[in-house]
Amino acid sequence: MLDFAVLGLLMERARHGYELKRALGELGFWKVSFGSLYPALRRLEKRGAISAVSGTGRRKAYQITDEGLKIFDTLLKADPDASETERAFQIRLAFLGHLPRERRVQVLEGRRTKLSTNLKSAREILIDARSNTENQDRYRLALMEHAMATTESDIAWLDGLVAAERGVASQN
Amino acid sequence: MLDFAVLGLLMERARHGYELKRALGELGFWKVSFGSLYPALRRLEKRGAISAVSGTGRRKAYQITDEGLKIFDTLLKADPDASETERAFQIRLAFLGHLPRERRVQVLEGRRTKLSTNLKSAREILIDARSNTENQDRYRLALMEHAMATTESDIAWLDGLVAAERGVASQN
DNA sequence: GACGTATATATCGAATCGATATAGACTGGT
DNA sequence: ACCAGTCTATATCGATTCGATATATACGTC
């Protein structure tokens, strides 16, 4: 998924490693390490998805190639499987604008469904935990409750995004 | 940190691997993989922190040893360094009840401070992104905004936990 | 022009993931 | 009684990612 993210960022313009790391961090959910990023760049270069265009000083800027564009497109269009991670979803979301509206809504609703399912089982687990004398630890319960509240808020946020897509019929 | 979590769960009672995986997942934040868990169990066994007590059928239940108790205690009391992960904090929180109230409040407030700092820089980045013609992508901005909102809600939650600690003077 | 700080690339070992293999235990249907 | 299917459970593999550290360049400032 890091490869997907890197390609997505390079779609806009050429960037060097450090800049990619910063950009990913600024999206707010992934402080990727150098130990992940630089190997990823070499991986992508070896696959012919990106190519180095030397920058000032020590910098090595990379630009996406035609092959890279093809790979990005494939990853973008692949429909997210059920086991997709929180992080994978967020990366997908960061580049969702590249998909047509109809597909965007599909992705958002797929995620919504998954979170709803998670929430339902979390509720059951919580009820169980509360009625279980052994699991009465205050902080454990607080963690579970907070995780649920966060999921609920995520769902509401997704609903907002879907509503925005449906409301703005003139776009795309 | 997985070692810490495993030891913490084994503090209550002996458990086998599958059960530990389930219990960690039910806390709501970590669906640990078998590829992490089983090696971790062997790691801990080799260190003498846990010992196998055979269960029914294929099960291998583990119990915490005296050495394990010592290790858990050390990890529990170590003050969380600034670079501590979201996940590491949550594990710490799950076992926070083992610390005296004064220390619990310290841990919560330390986390609060860190989140506040994150939030401040996120705000700056967002302002920057909005005034940057290049970064106008709707979904990117939505991601950043949602991440901020989630952090704000996390802070409020921490405040609630601290208030609960301070309010209940009779406990511990 | 020396000094400290921010920028930038690189690499190592260890932890973790995701997928897969294997097999025992329980359940329901015939 | 037996077989099929599903759930439980342990184990292992290769690839990814992390966290720490090393090193070098650019830049401001005194």
Whether the CB-CB separation of A49 and A107 falls below 8 Å is answered with: no
In chain B, beta strands by DSSP E: 15-16, 50-54, 60-64
CA distance B6 to B50: 10
Task: Please tell me if residue A118 touches chain B, with a CB cutoff of 8 Å.
Answer: no
Residues listed for chain B: 172
Confidence at residue B168, expressed as pLDDT on a 0 to 100 scale: 67
Q: Using one digit for the tens of pLDDT, what is the confidence trace for B129-148?
A: 888 766 678 999 999 999 99
3-state SS assignment for residue B51: strand
Q: Please write the tens of the pLDDT for every residue from A147-167.
A: 999 999 999 999 999 999 998
Four-residue CA torsion sign, A59, A62, A63, A65: positive
pLDDT tens digits for A9-40?
999 999 999 999 999 999 988 999 999 999 99
The whole-angstrom distance between A123's CA and the closest CA on chain B is: 10
Which is more confidently placed, A84 or B136?
A84
**pLDDT given at position B134:** 66
Q: Is B125 on the interface with A (CB under 8 A)?
A: yes
Give chain C positions with protein CB within 7 A: 7-13, 15-20, 23-25
User: Measuring CA to CA, which residue among A134, A135, A113, A117 is closest to residue A126?
Assistant: A135
Round the average pLDDT of chain B to a whole number and report it: 92
**Using alpha carbons only, what angle is made at residue B98 by residues B165 and B50, rounded to the nearest 5 degrees?**
160
Residue B54, burial from CB neighbour count under 10 angstroms (0-12, 13-18, 19+): exposed
- Tell if the pTM clears 0.75, that is, is over it: yes
**pLDDT recorded at residue B57:** 75
| Residue whose structure tokens are 């806390």 | B27
Distance CA B151, CA B146 (A): 9
Distance, CA of B122 to CA of B114 (rounded, Å): 12
Q: CA angle at residue A52 from A51 to A56, to 5 degrees? A: 155
At B37-90, the pLDDT tens digits run 999 999 999 999 999 997 777 899 999 999 999 999 999 999 888 888 999 999
